[in-house]
Amino acid sequence: MKLRGVPSFSMISKLYRRPVDNIFLNVELFRKTNGYRSFLLNQSLDFCYYMRNPKAYVFFHSFHNSFVAVSNFNHTCPYNHDIIIKGWSYKKGSMIELPMPNGDYMIYLKLSVSKVWRAEIKLYVTRTD
């Protein structure tokens, strides 16, 4: 259900070579202070290993859990279908709340398949109390 005035994120990622496995992610958090600078988090992970053992990466598990209901990447590798996220929006309490100051942030995700960087996603968010 879409609500007016509530920002949401949707994405369709076409997979041209299937099945896809050997997936690596790099997740980095940036804070805007005279330009975007790396802040608090820079973590790389083997996504296929993570999907088999989700509690191995606690912070990413919290972030991923907020996507499960609106996406189709909630199973282990390999992936034989396009990746779809439809209408994700942040809900207070759906992720681990970190004690961060108010301000502008960027969540930067890089995706590698078969040891080649294939995609970048930049999410710009503003934290206010």
CATH number, domain with residue 115: 2.70.220.10
Residue 1 falls within a domain, yes or no?
no
Residue 85 falls within a domain, yes or no?
yes
The number of distinct structural domains making up the chain is: 1
Residue 18 falls within a domain, yes or no?
yes
Q: What single-letter amino acid sits at 63? A: F
Residue 77 falls within a domain, yes or no?
yes
| Res. 47 pLDDT band, cuts 50 70 90 | very high
Mean pLDDT, to the nearest integer, of 51-67?
85
* 91 C-beta neighbours (distance < 10 Å), count: 9
Q: Which token pair is 93?
A: 């309490």
Q: Which token pair is 55?
A: 């509690």
- Chain position carrying tokens 């930067």: 108
Residue 41 falls within a domain, yes or no?
yes
Distance separating alpha carbons of residues 36 and 39, to the nearest angstrom: 9
Q: Is the pLDDT of residue 24 over 90?
A: yes
Residue 4 falls within a domain, yes or no?
no
Mean pLDDT, to the nearest integer, of 40-48?
91
Residue 71 falls within a domain, yes or no?
yes
Distance of alpha carbon 50 from the chain centroid: 13
Q: What is the pLDDT of residue 1?
A: 54
Residue 2 falls within a domain, yes or no?
no
For residue 41, give its domain range.
Answer: 9-127
Q: Which token pair is 26?
A: 């790099």
Distance separating alpha carbons of residues 45 and 26, to the nearest angstrom: 6
Please state which of the ranges 22-26, 37-41, 83-87, 97-101 shows the lowest mean pLDDT. Answer: 97-101
**Segment 67-110, tens digit of pLDDT:** 888 899 888 899 999 989 898 877 776 555 667 788 999 999 99
Residues forming a β-bridge with 106 = 30, 124
